[in-house]
Structure 1
Amino acid sequence: MNVRRLAPRLLLLACVALAVIWMGLNRDLLDSTALDSWLAGLGVWAPVAYVGLYAAGTVIFLPGSLFTMAGGALFGPMWGAVLSLLGATIGAGLAFLIARYIAGDWVMQKAAGRLKRLIDGVETEGWRFVAFVRLVPLFPFNLTNYALGLTRIGFWPYVVTSLICMAPGAVAYTWLGHAGREAIAGDTSAIRYGLLALGLLAAVAFLPRLVTRLRKGEAMTWIEPEELHRQIESGRPLTVLDVRGADEFTGQLGHIPDAVNIPLGELDRRLDELRSTANGEVTVVCRTDKRSAAAQTILRNAGFKNVAVLRGGMERWAALGRETVRDGSGKGPVTT
């Protein structure tokens, strides 16, 4: 990485670190009453300032409950919940992007062993894992935003899932702020236990699947387009299996030269056919990589040992300017 590209990242990292340190040394300034008074004095600009402060506070590790209850006290239970959720989501998205921009590529290059299996497992579960950590109140919100940015979970699935799964907590704490922190102090345990119960349901729904996948070593095995291109150019024994439909195989994106086309829906009954044509390792391809992930599971269950998924699929392959074929001249049977 050259200095010109590294300098902005280091500057951004330094700014975030300094803000976090300053707030850590001045936590006594976090007075909810003062925050309420300041926002109330802004008039029509109060909602905008509130959302901006909430987002910034999320990035620098300020407690979200402080802002959420202030939102309930100032804007009422409905608009307070909407604005709180908006600020938390924007802040979570910013922290995610900061982590990915500063360290995401470096972490993926260095990841190995259990760390790589964990990252791949998280990426395989995608939005389900995001839903799990948002609903289970055991994961620190601010830290999780940065941690998920180090994986390759898509930004928009991350944001949308976070928005939906943070809503119960936002509504609960906004109502708490609206009703008055002191007046209903005796009822705070009900909210806490309610959120804990919701988190337990999330754990029952999502955790077993993730743990099972990691224990069995079934985490996704990815291959980057650049690496696949190098392997093809080197003449390494390799079968590229495209699991799209025939219309997609010869469509706008075309297909990788010499790819075998077996649509995902037909893969189970055409495994013997694939075994007869497979040459060494198998790389699975689709438009993005979702169908490829399902195909990888089918092939592994059928005894195929070295199966990888092309990250980003044909969309990323084509975006990088790699060679494609659009005339249906792929190797092996092309479905019609």
Structure 2
Amino acid sequence: MTGAASPPSAAAPGAAAAAARARRRGALLRLLLLAAGLAAAGLVLRELGAAPGTEWVDRHVRGQGVLGEAVFLAVGAVAAAVGVPRQGVAFLGGYAFGAVRGSGLALVAQLLGCALSFYWARLVGRDWAERRLAGRFGRRLRPLRDVLAGSPFGATLAIRLLPVGNNLALNLLAGMAGIAALPYFAGSAIGYVPQTVVFALLGKGVRVDGLWQVALSAALLAASIALGLRLLRRHRAAQAFEEAGPG
């Protein structure tokens, strides 16, 4: 017979690739909208005499010395642990403390949040994760878990540099699946740096009307996205992360 439909096995790879491209475009759009939204909100609120990130930042963090830093670290860590975008934490770090110190404090807050969600999942949900990874749900997540287990530092670094994905989802998966903690945190720390610096620069530029900081943050964001997309094409961990689609 002629004109028979293509078998499902032949169509499946194309459909999976199209779905992956759609997830990638959606994630990139969310990241760009986050950057634009933070900058626009900050500029508007500054013109109105208010502080981006609410008046709370000016009242309890800026100009408060060590106490303000401690408050920022505590609140930023909890925010990152429960799924608030880490870029927002970096933005407020730059707004409150400047690009250099804000980047450093935001990075510490992000790592504390990473550890909180990682160890919460390890202590509470590890058995649950192993059961899910053994069943139908594991068909998507098991490859990512296996890549992380085989190379916890390199795979985590590649994933953290990506402009796609979900920070909280990865922390929960790594904790529940028993990924080695120290290399996972080390890869996260280095992988967090580019976007942390980008968004801290953006926050600093908004506060002081520094157009060059805003322009530099935009250029660095473009470079970070280009690096992430290159890794997405070349690194097995990045491919597994996108195929799993946790965020």
Give the Å deviation of 1:183. 5.1
Give the Å deviation of 1:152. 2.1
Say whether 1:95 aligns with 2:117.
yes
Q: What is the 5 A alignment of 1:171-320?
A: 171-180=197-206, 184=211, 187=215, 189-207=218-236
Counterpart Cα distance in 2 of 1:163 and 1:100 = 19
Look at both structures and tell me which one has the larger radius of gyration over its CA atoms.
1
Give the Å deviation of 1:42. 3.3
Give the Å deviation of 1:76. 1.6
Moved more, 78-87 or 67-76: 67-76
Tell me the alpha carbon deviations over residues 234-256 of structure 1, each in whole angstroms, 9 at most, x when there is no partner: xxxxxxxxxxxxxxxxxxxxxxx
Give the Å deviation of 1:144. 2.1
Sort the Cα spacing of 1:31 and 1:147 in 2 relative to 1 into closer, same or farther, 3 A. farther
Say whether 1:42 aligns with 2:64.
yes
The equivalent of 2:157 in structure 1 is 131
Counterpart Cα distance in 2 of 1:40 and 1:146 = 32
Amino acid at match of 1:193: A
Sort the Cα spacing of 1:70 and 1:116 in 2 relative to 1 into closer, same or farther, 3 A. closer
Q: What is the 5 A alignment of 1:44-63?
A: 44-63=66-85
Sort the Cα spacing of 1:80 and 1:189 in 2 relative to 1 into closer, same or farther, 3 A. closer
Counterpart Cα distance in 1 of 2:178 and 2:119 = 11
Sort the Cα spacing of 1:78 and 1:186 in 2 relative to 1 into closer, same or farther, 3 A. closer
Counterpart Cα distance in 1 of 2:188 and 2:237 = 20
Contact kept in structure 2, 1:132 and 1:207, CA below 8 Å: no
Structure number with greater CO (CA < 8 Å, separation at least 6) is 2
Three-state SS of the structure 1 residue aligned to 2:168 is: helix
Structure 1 gaps, min length 5: 1-29, 215-336
Give the Å deviation of 1:68. 1.3
The alignment's TM-score, normalised by the length of structure 2, stands at 0.65
Sort the Cα spacing of 1:189 and 1:175 in 2 relative to 1 into closer, same or farther, 3 A. closer
Counterpart Cα distance in 1 of 2:239 and 2:119 = 24
Sort the Cα spacing of 1:111 and 1:169 in 2 relative to 1 into closer, same or farther, 3 A. same
Say whether 1:160 aligns with 2:189.
no
**Larger % of helix: which?**
2
Structure 2 gaps, min length 5: 1-50
Contact kept in structure 1, 2:159 and 2:237, CA below 8 Å: no
**Larger % of strand: which?**
1
Amino acid at match of 1:129: A
RMSD between superposed Cα atoms in Å: 2.8
